[in-house]
Amino acid sequence: MIETDTETAYLECTCGGERLHRLTYVHGCLLTIVCDNCGRTTAMPRELVLGQYTRDFRDRIGRLPAKLRSDARERPVRFVFSLPVKAIGKVGQVIHEIKLISRT
């Protein structure tokens, strides 16, 4: 599942005072801030987003062996049959995340 979250916050804007803004995150990395009043979009610097995403991705990869071991022990048959589908899904997820990040 792609972890794309949106939250709202009142932030100062050039259109005058505190206005409602939408903040978009991918795996906890802030990508964009959009003012609901004037539509102004602020994208986070690409280097910052890529650095945060890379650290998060390394952490996710680091946890993967333990998760796979646990899944294999708990439900071995289900694990074997679901592994190809999960692998393809994860590759698609990572490609989608990279596309989202590269737009910033």
Residue type for position 42:
T
Nearest to 42 by CA among 50, 51, 33: 33
| pLDDT value for 15 | 87
pLDDT digits 0-9 by tens, 61-98: 999 899 999 999 999 999 999 999 988 988 888 888 88
Per-residue tokens: 87: 């692998």
Strand order in the sheet with 41-43: 4-12, 18-26, 29-35, 41-43
Q: Does the pLDDT of residue 103 top 80, yes or no?
A: no
Q: What is the spatial distance between Cα 34 and Cα 47, in angstroms, rounded to a whole number?
A: 20
| pLDDT value for 3 | 67
Instruction: Tell me the pLDDT band of 2, cut-offs 50, 70 and 90.
Output: low
pLDDT digits 0-9 by tens, 12-68: 998 888 999 999 988 788 889 999 999 999 988 888 888 888 888 899 899 989 999
Q: What is the spatial distance between Cα 20 and Cα 93, in angstroms, rounded to a whole number?
A: 30
| pLDDT value for 104 | 60
| pLDDT value for 47 | 86
Cα dihedral 41, 42, 48, 53 sign: negative
